[in-house]
Amino acid sequence: MNRIEFMSELEKLLQDMPQEERSEALTFYFDYFNDAGEENEQKVIAELVSPQKVAATIKADVKGQDASSEYSENGYTDTRFEKKDAPMQRNAGAGNSRQANAWTSKPLKIVLIILIAIAACTVVWPVLAGVFGVAVALLFAAFGLFIGLVIGSIALMITGFVIFIVGLTKIAVALPVALLTSGSGILIFILGLIATVASIKLCMVVYPAMIRGIVNLIRRPIYGKADKKEEG
């Protein structure tokens, strides 16, 4: 970067300032480069750091008369800029305190829930017990239904097998009847077999789903909804 590039960049950056302030500042730095001489041009540019920094310094002072800037061994530091430089640190602090709040409020929540439960005892417990009883009954009914399907299918299979055997015993007496009986026996057996396999498959799908549903239902009031989301 040379002085012409530096000055045109600075001019661009000062465009939102009042005309007078802008031309004063540009005149100063124009003179400054002239007086420093060509041999010092790069040194001056290096010491000014960047057009952005120069523009920020000019604007900061025009906006407000200050006690907010200091000149230290590191050169000029504007405390207003320093604050902007360290937002991470402050955010981290705020985050910590938020977390601390959350931790203190959780036991409080639990205590409140217990108090409400005690207060509601007299009315809620009988109703709750009734609802619970119905739910358990429905649950067992569902379990029973599917187990029933399996048992029914197995029974069908056994019946088919028995008919097949009975048919075979009739072979010597009346061949056509025996063939018909044992044939239908085999047919029933196969139907039973298919039904058994299908109903066991159905149970394998339905029972885990039911158990998962129940577990979630129980977990929810204890761990909150967040846990449920994580599982899904």
Partner 1 sequence: MIFNTGAALLDAIVLAVVSREAEGTYGYKITQDVRKAIDVSESTLYPVLRRLQKDECLEVYDMQFDGRNRRYYKVTEKGMAQLNLYRVEWKNYSKKISELFEGGDAS
**Residues that bind partner 1 in the complex, under the rule CB under 8 A:** 24-25, 27-29, 31-32, 34-36, 44, 47-49, 53-54, 57-58, 60-62, 65-67, 69-73, 75-76
| Residue found under tokens 């705020």 | 94
Nearer to partner 1, 8 or 27 (CB): 27
Least distance from partner 1 to the Cβ atom of residue 39, Å: 13
Least distance from partner 1 to the Cβ atom of residue 28, Å: 5
Nearer to partner 1, 68 or 101 (CB): 68
Nearer to partner 1, 74 or 99 (CB): 74
For residue 96, give every residue at least 6 positions away whose Cβ sits within 8 Å of its Cβ, in sequence order, or none: none
Least distance from partner 1 to the Cβ atom of residue 80, Å: 13
Nearer to partner 1, 28 or 132 (CB): 28
Rg (CA), the chain: 44
Least distance from partner 1 to the Cβ atom of residue 89, Å: 22
Maximum Cα–Cα distance across the chain: 134
Residue type, 56: A
Nearer to partner 1, 56 or 168 (CB): 56
Phi/psi of residue 127, nearest 5 degrees: -60, -45
Least distance from partner 1 to the Cβ atom of residue 58, Å: 6
Least distance from partner 1 to the Cβ atom of residue 69, Å: 6
Least distance from partner 1 to the Cβ atom of residue 33, Å: 9
Nearer to partner 1, 14 or 188 (CB): 14
Residue type, 212: R
Nearer to partner 1, 69 or 216 (CB): 69
Bridge partners for 69 per DSSP? 78
